[in-house]
A and B are shown apart, each in its own frame.
Chain A
Amino acid sequence: MNLRTLTKRIFLLDAHYPRSIIAFIILCTIFFLWRIPNLNIDPGLRSLVPANHEIVKNMELAEDLFSSNEIVIVAVESENLLSERNLIKLSFLHDSLESMPSVSRVASIYNQRYIVPDDGGFEIQKLLEKIPSDSIENQKFIETIYASDIIGNLISADLDIMCFIAQITASTDFDEIAFRDDIYSIVSHFEGPEKIYLASSIISSAESIDNVKRDMRTFTPIALGLMILLLILSFRSWTGTFLPLFVVGFSILWTFGLMAWLEISVPIIGGLIPIMLIAIANNYGIHIISHYYEFTKIDQNLSRTEILKRTMKRLGMPIFLAGITTVISFMSLMTHELSKVREIGLLVSFGIAVSFFLSLFFIPAILILVPRPTYLGKENSLESVNNFLVNWGKFFVRNRVPFLSILFVGMFLFSFGIRDITIDTVPDNFFPEDSKIRKSSAVINKTFGGSTQLNILIEGDIYDPLSLEHIDRLMSHIKEKNEAVSSTYSIADVIKKMHYSFNNGNIDSLKIPSSRELIEQYMFLHSIAGEDNDFDLILNDTDDPSFSQCFVRIKKVSTVDLMDLVDDTEDYIRSNYYDGRPIKPMLSGPAALLGAVSHLVIRGQIISLAIASLILFIIMSLVFRSFIGGLFASLPMLLAVLLIFGFLGNFGIPLNMTTSLLTCILVGVGIDYSVHFLWHLREHIRDGEELEQAISNTMKVSGKGILFNGISVVVGFSVLMYSVFLPLKAFSVLIMASISFCLIGGMAILPAMISLIDPNFIRK
C-alpha cells in the first residue's frame, strides 16, 4: 500500500466517521490526562546527567561516606559586627541554621577551633569561648581572630562581614525550593539593620525554577493570546484559529500524559516541551487549513467533502514528509549524552507524531462537520495576503542575484561570530547583574572566595605520609594552575598545621611529617583536645581512614573556568594516578557536575545536529530522487543554523541547555518549510505551469501556511522578551530569530535559488 492509497483511506475514514474520530480523540485525551496530576517535577541538575556518569557515581559515594556535598554561605554585614549585641543575635542565627534538617554542620566563628603551638605540643582552642562583654574582652577576641586562620574564610579582613558556611546533604530527592524557603524564612528574622547575603548553587537553582514557573505562567497565556489574535487576523475563522491550536494542545497533553504514565519526572528543561510543540506542531494544521481555504476560494460550489479530498490528496505526502523529518531531527537527540535531553528528544518526537496524526484525523473530521467560514464567501477575501505573497515571491525571483549575493556575503561575515560563542550553565548567571542573587554572590566571592566548591574524593591509605604528600601536591597544583580557585582545604593542611604547631611554629616544619606513627599521634592528640565530629567532612574514619574529601573553593564562577578547572584536574589525575596509587582521586561536587554538564551540552549539540542534518539530507535526496534536491531542501535549514550560531556569538548569548535544544526546533521548522515549498512547487510544475508562475502559486498556498505559522510563532514568543529571567529572554530572542531565519530560507532563499539554477529535480 503506497502513501497515496493510505492518504485516501484516511480521508475516507475522516469522511465517514468524523464524530467517532473526534470522540475517540477525546477519550484518548482523558486517558492521558488521567495521570497528569501525578507528574513529578525534578528541578535538580544531577538528574540531567546519566546515573552511570563517573561524577554522579563519585557524588553518591561521597554522600555515603561523608555528611555533606554542597555548601550555603550566609554572610552578615554590619559596621559593629563584633559588638556584644550583634554577637548574641548572630549566635542564634548559627543555632537556627544548624537546626535545619538538611544542614549537617555550620562553620562560623561560634564553633571554630584553631591549633595553637604549646610547650612541646599543640592545643586545640575554641575561637570564641564566651561572647565578649567589655572592650578589653572584645580587643582580645579581635586579636584571637587575627591570630587564627579565619580571616577571608569566616570573617572579612576589615571585620565588617562574617559568614556561616552551612554544609548541606543534597541527596537525589532533595527539595531545593523547600530548602530555599526555609533558609529565607530563618534569615528574614535576623535581617536589619544588618545586611544578610545568601549564596549557593542550591539557592540559585531554586530561584531559577521559581522564575521559570512565574514567567511561564505570566507570559504563556499572553503568547498564546497573541498567536490566537494573529491567526484570527490571518484566517478570520474559528477553524483556522483553533483547529491548529487544539492539535497542539492535545499533543502537549498527550506528551505530558505519556510522561506521567511512564513515571518520567519533568526536568527543568521539560518546560521547553510545550514551547517546542507550539513552535513546530501547529504547522501541519495550518497547512491543511490554508489549502482547504484556497481550494474553497477556487471553487465555492464544491462540497466540503470534495474540497477536503483535494486538500488531503495534495497535502498527504508533504505533511508526512514534514512530520517524519521533524521527528527524525528530534530523535537525533537520542545520541545526546545528557539522559534528560534524550528523554526530551523522544517525548517531543512523540508529541510531533501525535500532532501529525491529529492533523490528519481530527482537523478533517471537524472540517467535514462544520460549515466553511463565511469570510471565504466574500469577494476579495484573503486577496491582500495572496497579492502580498505573490509579489514577495516575484521580488526575490527578480532580484535573485543581488539578494543572494548580499545574503551570502552577509552570512559569511555574520558567521565569524561563531568563534565568539560562549557556554554558560552556571545558574547565577541566569539573573541580571543588579539582582539580589548576583549582588550577594559578588559580595561573598569578593570577601570569602566564592560559594561554589569542587570536591575531590581521595581513596587510599590516607595516613600514609606518601598519600598525604600526594594529596598536598594535588591541591597545590589545582591552586597554582587555576586562577578561579580561591582556596583549598584537605587533611594534608590539618596535618601540616599540627606538625608546624608541634614544632613550636618553626616554618621549616610546615610540611607532611615522614613518619606514619607521628601522623597517627597527631590525630590522636587532636581527638583528645577536639570534638568527635571535627573530621566528619574530610575523613570517613579517624582511626584508619580509607577515604578523604578535599575541598576546592571557586571565586570566579564561569562555565569556561569551571570546565578548565575540571579538565586540568582530570588531566593531572590521569597522568599521575592512572593506576590508582598511592591515591585514587575522584572528582565530585556541584562544580564538577556543572563542568561535566557543560561538556555534555557541547558534545551532544554537535553530534545530534550533525546526525540530524545528515539523515535529513539523505531523506530529502531520496524523496526528490536527486542529490541537488536534497541539497536544496537542506540548504535553508543549514543556513539558518549557521545564522543562529553567528547570532549567538555576535550578540553574546551563551550556549546552555535551552539554547542547545533550539537547533532542533530550527532544523524541524526549517525542513518543514522547505518540504512544503519544494513539494508544491514540483506539483505546480507537473501541472504544466511555467517556473515563475509555479513559484507564485506555491507562494499563494504553501507560502501562506509558512507565513501564518512563522509570524504567529514569532509574535507569540516576542512577549518572553520581557522576562527578567535571562535564559527565557535569550530563548525568546533565539526562537524569533530561528523562525525568522527559517521564514527567509523557505520564502526568499528557495524561490531565488530555484529561479536562478532551475534544477532538474523539480521537473521529475
Chain B
Amino acid sequence: MKVKQDKVISLVILSISVFLIILWIYGIYNNSANPIVHSEFSLKNLVAWANYNTDLIIIIYVFLSLQLAGISEFKQGQDYLIVAFISLVFTPIGLLFIKNEKNDKT
C-alpha cells in the first residue's frame, strides 16, 4: 500500500519538477539578453563550442560513463571497478557486451 502511495507522490512531485524545468528552459530561451538565443545554430558553431568547452565534454562523458557503469553494476551484477573501466575506455557501448551475472540474493 505504502509502495503505491510512495509511487504516486513521487510521480506528482517529479511532474512538478519536469514542468518547472520546461518553464525554466522556456524562460531562458525567451530572455533576449541571453547570447544563446542570438547565436545561430550551425555545425561550425557547434564545433567551435565543443573546441572551447573540451573540458566540459570530457566531464560529461566521464560522468555519464560512470553512471551507466552503475546501472550495469545493479542490472548485471558486475564489479563496479571493472565496468567503470570498461565504460570509460571502450565507451558505455562496451557494457552491452558483458555477461549478466546478477545474483538475485542481493
- Kindly identify, within residues 176 to 227 of chain A, every residue whose CB is under 8 Å from any CB belonging to chain B: 217-218, 221, 225
Q: Are A23 and B81 in contact (CB under 8 A)?
A: no
A232-B84, A242-B66 in contact; A374/B14 too (CB < 8 A)?
Answer: no
Q: Is B40 an interface residue (CB 8 A)?
A: no
Contact of B80 among A23, A236, A377 (CB under 8 A): A236
A30-B20, A30-B24, A238-B70 in contact; A16/B2 too (CB < 8 A)?
Answer: yes
Which residues of A approach B to under 8 Å, CB–CB?
16-20, 22-24, 26-27, 30-31, 33-34, 37, 217-218, 221, 225, 228, 232-233, 236-238, 241-242, 300-301, 370-378
Report the Cα distance A233→B84, complex, angstroms. Answer: 11
Q: Are A373 and B73 in contact (CB under 8 A)?
A: yes
Report the Cα distance A556→B21, complex, angstroms. Answer: 54
A23-B17, A232-B81 in contact; A374/B66 too (CB < 8 A)?
Answer: no
Please name the residue on chain A nearest to B15 by beta carbon: A23
Residues of A within 8 A of B106 (CB): 371-374, 376-377
Q: Are A232 and B80 in contact (CB under 8 A)?
A: yes
Chain A min CB distance to B67 (Å):
8
Q: Is B16 an interface residue (CB 8 A)?
A: yes
Name the segment of B4-12, B43-51, B89-97 touching the other chain. B4-12
Q: Are A237 and B80 in contact (CB under 8 A)?
A: yes
Please name the residue on chain B nearest to A22 by beta carbon: B10
Q: Are A23 and B55 in contact (CB under 8 A)?
A: no
- Closest 4 CB pairs between A and B? A238-B70, A19-B10, A23-B13, A23-B10
Q: Are B78 and A374 in contact (CB under 8 A)?
A: yes
Chain B min CB distance to A597 (Å):
33
A-B contact count (CB 8 A): 96
Chain B min CB distance to A712 (Å):
15
Q: Mark B47-82, 1 if CB is under 8 A from A, else 0.
A: 000000001001100100011011001100111110
Report the Cα distance A16→B7, complex, angstroms. Answer: 10
Residues of B within 8 A of A242 (CB): 66-67, 70
A34-B24, A374-B101, A375-B80 in contact; A27/B17 too (CB < 8 A)?
Answer: yes
Contact of B66 among A241, A370, A372 (CB under 8 A): A241
Q: Is B37 an interface residue (CB 8 A)?
A: no
Contacts A20-B9, A371-B74 supplied; 8 other A-B pairs, CB < 8 Å: A26-B13, A34-B24, A236-B81, A237-B80, A238-B73, A374-B78, A375-B79, A375-B81
Report the Cα distance A650→B25, complex, angstroms. Answer: 53
Residues of A within 8 A of B98 (CB): none
Residues of B within 8 A of A375 (CB): 79-81
Q: Are A24 and B13 in contact (CB under 8 A)?
A: yes
Report the Cα distance A237→B66, complex, angstroms. Answer: 10
Which residues of B approach A to under 8 Å, CB–CB?
2, 5-7, 9-11, 13-14, 16-17, 20-21, 24, 28, 55, 58-59, 62, 66-67, 69-70, 73-74, 77-81, 84, 101, 103, 105-106
Q: Are B6 and A20 in contact (CB under 8 A)?
A: yes
28 contacts between A and B (CB under 8 A): A16-B2, A17-B5, A17-B6, A17-B10, A19-B7, A23-B9, A23-B10, A23-B14, A23-B17, A26-B14, A26-B17, A33-B24, A217-B55, A218-B55, A221-B55, A221-B58, A232-B81, A236-B80, A238-B80, A242-B66, A242-B67, A371-B106, A373-B73, A374-B106, A375-B81, A376-B106, A377-B105, A378-B79
Q: Are A374 and B73 in contact (CB under 8 A)?
A: yes
Residues of A within 8 A of B77 (CB): 371, 374
Chain B min CB distance to A543 (Å):
47
Contact of B103 among A20, A23, A377 (CB under 8 A): A377
Chain A min CB distance to B106 (Å):
5
Chain B min CB distance to A309 (Å):
16
Report the Cα distance A37→B36, complex, angstroms. Answer: 14
Chain B min CB distance to A156 (Å):
43
Q: Are B9 and A300 in contact (CB under 8 A)?
A: no
Report the Cα distance A33→B103, complex, angstroms. Answer: 39
Q: Are B6 and A19 in contact (CB under 8 A)?
A: yes
Report the Cα distance A388→B93, complex, angstroms. Answer: 37
Chain A min CB distance to B9 (Å):
4
Chain A min CB distance to B47 (Å):
21
Residues of B within 8 A of A228 (CB): 66
Residues of A within 8 A of B55 (CB): 217-218, 221
Please name the residue on chain A nearest to B31 by beta carbon: A37
Chain A min CB distance to B25 (Å):
11
Chain A min CB distance to B30 (Å):
14
Residues of A within 8 A of B70 (CB): 238, 242
Q: Are A17 and B9 in contact (CB under 8 A)?
A: yes
Report the Cα distance A37→B13, complex, angstroms. Answer: 23
Residues of A within 8 A of B24 (CB): 30, 33-34
Report the Cα distance A146→B50, complex, angstroms. Answer: 58
Residues of A within 8 A of B2 (CB): 16-17
Q: Are B6 and A18 in contact (CB under 8 A)?
A: yes
Residues of A within 8 A of B13 (CB): 20, 23-24, 26-27
Please name the residue on chain A nearest to B103 by beta carbon: A377
Chain A min CB distance to B73 (Å):
5
Report the Cα distance A233→B16, complex, angstroms. Answer: 38
Report the Cα distance A238→B77, complex, angstroms. Answer: 12
Report the Cα distance A223→B1, complex, angstroms. Answer: 45
Residues of B within 8 A of A33 (CB): 24
Residues of A within 8 A of B103 (CB): 374, 377
Residues of B within 8 A of A238 (CB): 66-67, 69-70, 73-74, 80
Report the Cα distance A223→B70, complex, angstroms. Answer: 21
Report the Cα distance A18→B3, complex, angstroms. Answer: 9
Please name the residue on chain A nearest to B28 by beta carbon: A37
Chain A min CB distance to B20 (Å):
5
Please name the residue on chain A nearest to B73 by beta carbon: A238
Chain A min CB distance to B54 (Å):
11
Residues of B within 8 A of A19 (CB): 6-7, 9-10
Chain A min CB distance to B55 (Å):
6
* Most chain A beta carbons < 10 A, residue from B9, B13, B20: B13
Residues of B within 8 A of A374 (CB): 73, 77-80, 101, 103, 106
Please name the residue on chain B nearest to A239 by beta carbon: B70
Q: Are B74 and A370 in contact (CB under 8 A)?
A: yes
Report the Cα distance A375→B69, complex, angstroms. Answer: 14
Q: Are A233 and B80 in contact (CB under 8 A)?
A: no
Residues of B within 8 A of A22 (CB): 10
Residues of A within 8 A of B5 (CB): 17
Q: Are B74 and A233 in contact (CB under 8 A)?
A: no
Report the Cα distance A22→B7, complex, angstroms. Answer: 11
Chain B min CB distance to A617 (Å):
41
Please name the residue on chain A nearest to B34 by beta carbon: A37
Residues of A within 8 A of B74 (CB): 238, 370-371
Please name the residue on chain A nearest to B5 by beta carbon: A17
Residues of B within 8 A of A27 (CB): 13-14, 16-17, 20
* Most chain A beta carbons < 10 A, residue from B9, B10, B16, B80: B80
Report the Cα distance A370→B106, complex, angstroms. Answer: 9
Residues of B within 8 A of A371 (CB): 74, 77, 106
Report the Cα distance A372→B73, complex, angstroms. Answer: 10
A30-B24, A221-B59 in contact; A16/B105 too (CB < 8 A)?
Answer: no
Please name the residue on chain B nearest to A217 by beta carbon: B55
Report the Cα distance A300→B104, complex, angstroms. Answer: 12
Report the Cα distance A687→B103, complex, angstroms. Answer: 33
Report the Cα distance A371→B70, complex, angstroms. Answer: 11
Residues of B within 8 A of A217 (CB): 55
Report the Cα distance A233→B66, complex, angstroms. Answer: 13
Chain B min CB distance to A187 (Å):
26
Please name the residue on chain A nearest to B7 by beta carbon: A19
Report the Cα distance A218→B58, complex, angstroms. Answer: 12
